[in-house]
Amino acid sequence: DQQVKQNSPSLSVQEGRISILNCDYTNSMFDYFLWYKKYPAEGPTFLISISSIKDKNEDGRFTVFLNKSAKHLSLHIVPSQPGDSAVYFCAASSYNTNAGKSTFGDGTTLTVKP
Amino acid sequence: DTAVSQTPKYLVTQMGNDKSIKCEQNLGHDTMYWYKQDSKKFLKIMFSYNNKELIINETVPNRFSPKSPDKAHLNLHINSLELGDSAVYFCASSPPGNHYYGYTFGSGTRLTVV
C-alpha cells in the first residue's frame, strides 16, 4: 500500500522555465509534507516543507502548494536551472502518529536542459 | 565536517555472509533512522531509534538487527545475506520537530550481494 505517490517518473524542462513536480497521498492523517532533492551517489537533501494548515510555502525559487481536499501537493521551481537536475522525493508524516516516520514517494527525475 | 556519515560507501559480498554498516551523526539529534532504497528507487523505512531506544521497527526480516550504542550512532547488522538485500541503505537523523525540518541523510551504502 503506497501511501505517497509520484506518478511522473521523469520530467524535462528548459532552463529558465517552470518545473512542476506532483505528489499524491492517500492517508488523511498526514499533516506535514516535505520535499527532498537527491543527486547521484548522495543522500536526499531536505528542500522545503509545508504543514496541513497552510496551502502554500515559498523559499526562494521553490514553492510548495498543498491541496488537502484533493490530497495533492506540488513543487514549483522558478526559474529552473541546470543545477536543479536531480531526483525529487516528496514525503509525508503525521505529527501524532508513526513516531516521526516519514513516508516517501518513489521520486521524479528532473532534467533541466541548458 | 560531515553531519551524517556512513561506512562503508560500497559493500560487495557473497550470499550467506554477515555484514555491518555503521552510521554516525554529529548534529546532536535524538532520532536516527535506517531507510532502504530498492531498485525501484522507493525509500522505505526500516528502523528508527530515539535516544538509543527502538521506536520504529517495520516489517523487516529479523536477519536485520540495528544497534544504537549511543544517540550519535546507529549501526545495522545483516546476517545471512540474500540476493534481495541488494539495495542502497541510508542512515538519517532528525531533531525534535522533524516533521517540518526534515531529516539529514548520510550519503548511503550501496550493498551488492552476489
Q: In 3-state terms, what secondary structure has residue A71?
A: coil
Segment 7-66 of chain B within 8 Å of chain A by CB: 31, 33, 35, 40-45, 48, 50, 55-56
Q: Which of A76-80, A99-103, B14-18 has the lowest mean pLDDT?
A: A99-103
Grid cell for residue A64: 510548495
Task: Tell which of A104, A108, A109, A110 to mutate to test the B interface (max B CBs under 10 Å).
Answer: A104
The minimum CA-CA distance between B25 and chain A, rounded to whole Å, is 14
Confirm if B104 and B27 have CB atoms less than 8 A apart: yes
Residues 6+ apart with CB under 8 A from A14: A80, A112, A113
pLDDT at residue B100 greater than cutoff 90: no
CB atoms within 10 A of CB A56: 10
How far CA B91 is from CA of A35, A45, B36, B88, B104, in Å, comes to 17, 12, 9, 10, 9
Q: Is B92 on the interface with A (CB under 8 A)?
A: yes
Q: What is the pLDDT, as a whole number, of residue A99?
A: 62
- Please write the tens of the pLDDT for every residue from B59-87: 789 999 999 999 999 999 999 999 999 99
Q: In this complex, do B43 and A98 lie within 8 Å of one another by their Cβ atoms? A: no
- Please write the tens of the pLDDT for every residue from B20-67: 999 999 999 989 999 999 887 889 999 999 888 888 888 789 999 999
